[in-house]
Structure 1
Amino acid sequence: MIILSLSSFPDFNIYSTPLLILVFQGLVFVGLLFNRYFKNRNIADLFLALILLLICYEQICYTVGFMGWYNVFKNTKINYFLIPMGMTIAPLIYFYIKSITTSNFKFRKKDWWHFLPIFLFISFKFFIYCYDSLQPNFSEIQNGVLRLSVDEAVVSPIYNFVSFAQMLLYLAFTFQLFYNYRKRITAYFSNTYKLELNWILSFLIVFTALFLYDSSQSVIGLLITDLNYKQRWWLNIFMALIVLFVGMKGYFTDTSKLNKISFKFSPNPEIIPQISEEKKTVSNEEVEKVANYMELKKPYLNPDLNLSDLAELLEMNRAQLSQVINAGFNKNFNDFINEFRVNVFIEKLKIGEHKQLSLLGIAYDCGFNSKATFNRVFKKITKTSPSQYLDTMST
């Protein structure tokens, strides 16, 4: 509970004003995300809007405290409704990332079980409020008997510990989900830059940093010294800034790229360097068929080429083609296609096309669709940058 030495509410001071401005801006993005969800029905917008809304709810509780609410309205019953939202935010973060990285994602009935702990806690808070409100002189005090003897003394410490463990677990699962997605797209798409979702990685990093900061502050307050409201203000201002950052990036970044793409098969995203049982099931005819088609038809020049497109061109199914590429060429789909592109790029350098076009222009002609992907792939294959490679050709 925050108690300020103020005589009136609201008090706009150096602590309350920045929080008030940032929380208001955060709520603007909550409204924008909700509005877009109801228009387009992209469930990722709903999850992000709920994440930001719950954080803003916690921020509002602190903001009105810094504005003097708890000093002026000493008998307010707001303590019964100050509910830490970690248990809700943790699964929402997981489902937000899952809704973006899973094609045709659907929220199932059984997914509601992830939110059972917070529903139970809210029910408990409602119960103790109802009980305490029936006790004598409840209107004259701030906290009733169950609020002090059960909630504050027993349940809240347990809740905080469980919430910490839950957030840690969900963040681990979410990072695993994201990196598995990164592996899967290399097995399906030839150009992955626009699908790598670097913004999502930033999203996870800032929330992890916020979680670690909050956890360290709790440990300090519990084991070393009690932190006063001004010292805890920094966590709240960082949280408010993160809400603004996440709101802006989440709203202005297209995260619906996979909504209408289906790649629900299980290609092996790892390159298998040894001869395996899988390789024995791939015939030489299949390998030659793929190699000849690549040489003659040059489908890799299409920057939007994916595994499904190539499988259709070769009159094969996706799983079969993925197996041929993985086992027959010891590459995943992304490396397989981009190696052809790099080889064509090198051939164009040899015939002097760089005298008429920029290196990036040549790369686009070879099937790349971004400078970042081209530079990364070229260096991975040749162990040098495109400009350095060109210099070695000139010497």
Structure 2
Amino acid sequence: MFLFPNFNIHSTPLLILVLQALVLVGLLLKRYAAKKNASDAILAILLLTVSYTQICYTVGFMGWYDTFRNTKINYFLIPAGTAIAPLIYLYVKSVTKSNFKFLKKHWWHFAIPLSLVAYRFSIFTYDALQPGFNETQNGILKIELDEPIILPILSVVGFSVMLLYLAFTIQLYVNYRQKIKQYFSNIFKLELNWIRNFLIVFTLLFIYSSVQDFVGSILVDLGYKERWWLNLLMAVCALYIGLKGYITDTTKLNTLDFSFSPKQISIPELTKDDKKEIDKDAIQAISELMAQEKPYLNPDLNLSELAKQANLTRGQLSEIINSGFQMNFNDFVNSYRVNAFKGMLKEGKHEQLSLLGIAYECGFNSKATFNRVFKKLTNFSPTQYLQSQSG
């Protein structure tokens, strides 16, 4: 029998990973103290919550519970999923919403985990007052109430909470990706692929955990060591999430406001023919602006800037582009950039500049965006298109 601390094949990897994750928690909190970015604080708390569960397993594999058999750890092993789920949602919300602030109403997301903490402290207090509590690991309420009744309920609640929050968060991210196409002409730096990876990681962990719980409760009893793999994966993911979250700039939207509701530019009292005429005039005006002023050459062009040039509100311009041109703002502007690129190829600009150099002159600001947009609008890669024109 090994005494605590026992550094073995199970405990050592977890210990190393958890310690590194805790270092990242400290770095995120330090940056939050300096810059007050809510996303840093939320990610730090998320990592700390995940790490807490791993710490309990780590010291277990190091022999703590065998050496100190009366440890009351079971009272404080609160199902972390009910806290992790809203933290995932709020982190993505803090990154994808400009000038996000944590408000009092956000505390309602933590009603379940906070209630669980209060409940566990209550039964611990009661059991601690009973005779012989110091000589045993679990008291009467833990044995007769919590384990046979409450824990099975919490298993279902935890699964449901995580499933719902992941669904809401994925929907939030998808809506964000669609929204930036209505506002920005170059979205490569705003797509936040890191958030996509972040959601993939937690979705896979949720699936793995759910399968493990199903197997452990229905098919075969899974012991401490069989559940080690999930804890190892969670520790690896916590380190990855912490590191990527720390080095990735997630404050791109802090100074931007692109919340608006598209508005019809027509007047309700006008006849349908009058409305159509106004729509035609508006479409013609925007077309002339794009052809004459060439605002699309500005790689940072967004809906607000173009609306100012057109003397329209953002909602009005968005409505004209979506209804009149049957495109979102991103495709609308980039179609002009692609046509400008084609025009430069006809002029022989590719003999002096690279294809990417020409793309930059036409208003694109990244190779990835240029290749993707060009392929989408022409069904050719830039190189294939040049070859087709040469032939």
TM-score by structure 2 length? 0.96
- In structure 1, the partner of 2:333 is 337
Compute the displacement of 1:285 (Å): 1.8
Compute the displacement of 1:72 (Å): 0.2
Which 5+ residue runs of structure 2 have no aligned equivalent?
Answer: 264-271
| Equivalent position amino acid for 2:75 in 1 | Y
Q: Does 1:20 align with 2:27?
A: no
Which 5+ residue runs of structure 1 have no aligned equivalent?
Answer: 1-5, 269-275
Q: In the aligned structure 1, how far is the partner of 2:162 from the partner of 2:290? A: 47
Q: Does 1:263 align with 2:258?
A: yes
Q: In the aligned structure 2, how far is the partner of 1:281 from the partner of 1:120? A: 61
Compute the displacement of 1:166 (Å): 0.5
Residues 305 and 67 of structure 1, relative CA distance in 2, 3 Å threshold: same
User: What's the % identity of the aligned pairs?
Assistant: 59
Q: In the aligned structure 1, how far is the partner of 2:277 from the partner of 2:113? A: 50
> Is 1:186–1:333's contact at 8 Å kept on the other side of the alignment?
yes
Q: In the aligned structure 2, how far is the partner of 1:219 from the partner of 1:314? A: 59
Compute the displacement of 1:109 (Å): 1.4
Q: In the aligned structure 2, how far is the partner of 1:282 from the partner of 1:163? A: 55
- What is the DSSP-based 3-state SS (H/G/I as helix, E as strand, rest coil) of the residue aligned with 1:83? coil
Structure 1 residue runs of 4 or more that deviate by more than 4 Å after TM superposition: 279-282
- Equivalent of 1:39, from 22, 28, 34? 34
> Is 1:325–1:336's contact at 8 Å kept on the other side of the alignment?
yes
| Equivalent position amino acid for 1:360 in 2 | L
- In structure 1, the partner of 2:76 is 81
Q: In the aligned structure 1, how far is the partner of 2:44 from the partner of 2:109? A: 18
Q: Does 1:251 align with 2:251?
A: no
Cα-to-partner distance string for 1:215-238 (whole Å, 9 max, x where unaligned): 100000000001122211111111
> Is 1:34–1:49's contact at 8 Å kept on the other side of the alignment?
yes
- In structure 1, the partner of 2:353 is 357
Q: In the aligned structure 2, how far is the partner of 1:81 from the partner of 1:204? A: 27
Compute the displacement of 1:108 (Å): 2.1
Compute the displacement of 1:325 (Å): 0.9
- Equivalent of 2:121, from 123, 126, 130? 126
Q: In the aligned structure 2, how far is the partner of 1:343 from the partner of 1:247? A: 42
- What is the DSSP-based 3-state SS (H/G/I as helix, E as strand, rest coil) of the residue aligned with 1:283? helix
- In structure 2, the partner of 1:235 is 230
Q: In the aligned structure 1, how far is the partner of 2:278 from the partner of 2:171? A: 31
Q: Does 1:312 align with 2:308?
A: yes
Q: Does 1:166 align with 2:193?
A: no
Cα-to-partner distance string for 1:28-85 (whole Å, 9 max, x where unaligned): 1111111111111100111111110000000000000000000000011111111121
- What is the DSSP-based 3-state SS (H/G/I as helix, E as strand, rest coil) of the residue aligned with 2:227? helix
Residues 65 and 281 of structure 1, relative CA distance in 2, 3 Å threshold: farther
Q: In the aligned structure 1, how far is the partner of 2:276 from the partner of 2:224? A: 67
> Is 1:282–1:328's contact at 8 Å kept on the other side of the alignment?
no
| Equivalent position amino acid for 2:346 in 1 | K
Q: In the aligned structure 1, how far is the partner of 2:287 from the partner of 2:227? A: 63
Q: Does 1:95 align with 2:93?
A: no
Count of residues paired in the alignment? 382
- Equivalent of 1:185, from 180, 195, 198? 180
